[in-house]
Amino acid sequence: MKIRFLWPGKTRQAPLRELVAFHARRIGGLAPCEIVETAEARGVEERFKDRILDIEARGLEKHFKDDYIVCLSGEGNEMTSEELADWLGGRAARSTRAIAFVVGGFLGLDGRILERSDLALSLSRMTFSHELSRVVLMEQIYRALSIMKGRHYAK
C-alpha cells in the first residue's frame, strides 16, 4: 500500500515543517510514502475565495492518479485511531491503489475535489489550521500503520 499526501503550498511554519518531515520518515519505514505540495494561489486576495479554491483545486487535480482519494473535511467521517487502522488494513487488502490523503489550504477544498473523493475524513469537530492538520493527519496515519503492524505506540 502506497500512501500519498497532497496539499497546496509548502508548510511554512518551521516547527510544523519539521514534524511533517519527521512523520514522513516514520511512515516511510512502514509503507511507501510521498508528499506532493501543489500550486497555491499567490497574490489573490482572500475575498476572492472561489478563485483561490479553483487555483488550488487545479493544482491538486494535476497530481491525482488512480488513487483512492481521501479528503479532509469538517463534515467527513470521524474515526478513532483503531478504526483508521482497520480501515487502512481493509483498503490494503482489497486494492493495490495508492491512498491519497488531500488536505486543503487555508480556505479548505473546492467542492469539486470533495465530490471527486472516495471518502471524506474529519480529524475532529474542532477546527485546526491547514498546516497543523497536515501534521495531525500524518501522525494518525503513522499510528494506524503501527497498530496494523502490531507495534506498540504510546497513547
Query: What is the value of pTM for the model shown?
Result: 0.94
pLDDT level of residue 151 (50, 70, 90 thresholds):
confident
As a whole number of angstroms, the distance between CA 125 and CA 51 comes to 27
Distance CA 112, CA 46 (A): 19
Percent of the chain surpassing pLDDT 90: 95
Tell me if 99 sits within 8 A of 1, measured CB to CB.
yes
- CATH of 3-148, picked from 3.40.640.10, 3.40.50.261, 3.40.1280.10, 3.20.20.70, is 3.40.1280.10
Q: Is the pLDDT of residue 155 over 70?
A: no
Spacing of C-alpha 95 from chain mean position: 19
**Residues forming beta bridges with residue 108, ordered by sequence position:** 105
CA dihedral 2, 27, 109, 114 (to 10 degrees): 40
